[in-house]
Amino acid sequence: MTMPTILPPSAGALLDVRGLTLNIRQEDAGWIPAVCNLDFTIEAGETFALVGESGCGKSLSALALMRLLPAGVRVESGEVHLQGEEILRLSEAEMRKRRGRDMVMIFQEPATSLNPVLTIGQQIGEALVTHLGERGRVLREHAAGLLAQVGINDPVRRLSEYPFQLSGGMKQRVMIAIALASSPKLLIADEPTTALDVTVQSQILDLLQKLQTERGMALLLITHDLGVVARMADRVGVMYAGQLVECASRAEFFSAPRHPYSRALFAALPETAHAGERLRALPGQVPAFAAMPQGCRFAGRCASEDRGAKDHARCLEQAPLLEDRGNGVWVRCHFQKTEDRGRRTEDNRRVAPPTASLSEGGGGEAVGGSGRAQENAAVPLLTVHALKVHFPMRKGIFQRVHGHVRAVDGVNLALTPGRTLALVGESGCGKTTVGRALMRMLPMTAGQLFWQGQPIAARDRAQAKHLRQSLQMVFQDPYASLNPRMSVGEILLEGMLALGAARSAREGRERAATLLEQVGLKPENLSRYPHEFSGGQRQRIAIARALAVSPRVIICDEPTSALDVSVQAQILNLMEDLQARLNLAYLFITHNFAVVEYLAGEIAVMYLGRIVETGPTAAVLAAPAHPYTQALLSAVPRIEGGREIIRLAGETPSPANPPDGCHFHPRCPKATPECRQSYPQSTPVAEGHTVNCFLYQGANT
């Protein structure tokens, strides 16, 4: 068997991975390859980004480097040299000395990586005791210093707190502090910013770059966010189906990706789509380990225009080698093509969306790219006026109320048929609480809901049932929101029978089969269970469940935040199709501005329970008025780069004790004395574009 060409070894590399092959055990197939002949090097102080879809072997490779492979996975062959020492041959006792001292890893989800029953100080102290032998006062001072180094205020107090008392961004900072306790030479970061807000993500990336510069530390960054790669990486490796298919410098990769899979990842990004066109989603899925193709593993999904029928047959039958294409670029492809992305990025920037008529879905007007069918836009389906959701805080034996958490504090929204309203902001600002309150999953403290202009009584059961059927929700994590003990058919049928959308179980099953076809799944999947599907397929099932009762409004709570760009493109295309066909209104809760730009017609920016800016998406993104909106947009990592980041001071204040005056003034770089005294009223800055900021009051009078 011919061995593939491998990347040349580097004598000075901090980490040198040669021919790493991992096998996974499956009951029906025995030991089968999961990662094949992986080769890459990382120099001291360098950032090497490993990108690709879920299931391609990125995280499994990182666990192999750390010698933390789960049961049922083993290293079949290969070598891993850390500072010239072959670590795969070390005993577990010897490896423990290097793991956590010379090389460390931070994981994707800090909430599950931190021990919930140990304080932050105990968890940092464990690393200091193990690797440095510190104890007592020296340990405590060192632990507090590490927290201060990663940007956590009042570090001494935080040492005695538990993980549940920290925000998501602070938990990730604690993970970094633990990782840095022994001054490692190599840090492996597995999706360190996935599902974090753009401002928190920017802070974490700034922190990693700062610490890397100060310590000369190498960084292996595993991610599917190409914007993060563009900002952080020195070199990029693209993995597909357990193989490295392209390796290049950041400049070469972003200016001219060679492999068809790399080009397909770029094409699936919302920010690279032409105005009004569908996202170019990758067809199919990464092949299963037990069903790897004989030839090129990407051949079944490749849309390369360079191949004829004879060439295609070669791709199916002959596995390509990883070959040197010059300028430090290595590509695994028989017919690689260079694509000039520098020109495409400029050409593909979205412009004001054109309009086009729809043949179905209400016969209204479609706004390409960011707008959908409009059915009498002057009459919204659902109007929200002065919505408040306050949670009482209790203490003492008698649990007396001593204050309130003002999660939502006076929000106005309008959802129109065939249109998408995006609700954006940092975690903790109240976005999800708004959605849950509209669904009656949380009680409203104050405010009024209007359905097609008619008020909805809070205690009218008939109206509540109608509203529950007319409004449905798609949650962020489809695995957590789907009952693992129910089949797909039972999940879809449950809502139909409960709300009377189906008169019998037989009618419900027939409708369920139709629903699966609507969301791109086969009717035979009705008998399968959630764990048998991929993340993207589970999200399709969640969308089908929402559609099961024929709603008019769907509330989408971060439905694509943890998905790969290729799967995200499939879900966004699906949502567009359903909206056009069924004339649905969407409330899209997200922190992904690329998705907002592509999907939403209007945008509302939320901060600490209140809306601070609203308007047409194109207008707000082109000329953000509120300093908070400006900071959010500047923090978005983009593949073209070049934007100066506005760094906000401190953390978001607690909604239990919001600041006087404008809630944003403690973090605002443009705050005035007036901002500290009273809250600004809504002020128009352009047609349909309003902002709550004193900088604009009086300017348009």
SS (H, E, C) 10-54: CCCCCEEEEEEEEEEEECCCEEEEEEEEEEEEECCCCEEEEECCC
Residue at 287 is within a domain: no
Of the candidates 599, 629, 659, which is a domain's last residue?
629
| pLDDT more than 90, % of the chain | 46
Residues of the chain with pLDDT below 50 are 1-5, 342-377, 701
pLDDT of residue 350: 33
pLDDT at residue 48, as a whole number: 97
Long-range contacts of 616-623 (CB under 8 A, 24+ apart): 616/688, 616/689, 617/370, 617/422, 618/350, 618/352, 618/353, 618/370, 619/686, 619/688, 619/689, 620/689, 621/593, 621/596, 621/597, 623/686
Q: What are the b/e assignments for 563-587, b being 16+ CB within 10 Å?
A: bbbbbbbbbbbbbbebbbebbbbbb
Q: Domain ends where: 183, 203, 234?
A: 183
Distance CA 539, CA 134 (A): 47
691: in domain: no
How many domains is the chain built from?
2
pLDDT in tens, 168-207: 778 888 988 888 888 889 999 988 887 677 887 888 888 8
Note the residue count of the chain.
701
Looking at residue 352, its pLDDT comes to 33
Query: What is the structure's pLDDT at 314?
Result: 85
Instruction: Say if 387 falls within a structural domain.
Output: yes
Pick from 592, 612, 629: which residue ends a domain? 629
The residues, any chain, with a CB within 8 Å of residue 630's CB and separated by 6 or more, are: 624, 646
Segments forming the whole domain that contains residue 141: 109-183
What is residue 356's predicted lDDT score, i.e. its pLDDT?
Answer: 30
Does residue 337 sit within a domain? Answer: no
The answer to whether the beta carbons of residues 412 and 435 sit under 8 Å apart is: no
pLDDT value at residue 8: 61
Q: Is residue 16 part of a domain?
A: no
Distance, CA of 477 to CA of 156 (rounded, Å): 35
Neighbours of 279 (CB within 10 A): 21
pLDDT the model gives residue 309: 57
Spatial contact of 410 and 604, defined as CB atoms under 8 Å apart:
no
User: How far apart are the C-alpha atoms of 99 and 21, rounded to whole Å?
Assistant: 21
Whole-model pTM: value is: 0.82
First to last CA, the chain: 79
Question: What does the pLDDT read at residue 379?
Answer: 80
Query: Is residue 585 included in any domain, yes or no?
Result: yes
Distance (Å, whole) CA 362 – CA 57: 45
CA distance 20 to 81: 11
| Strand 454-455 versus strand 446-451 pairing type | antiparallel
Instruction: Evaluate whether residue 396 is within a structural domain.
Output: yes
Task: Assess if residue 74 is contained within a domain.
Answer: no
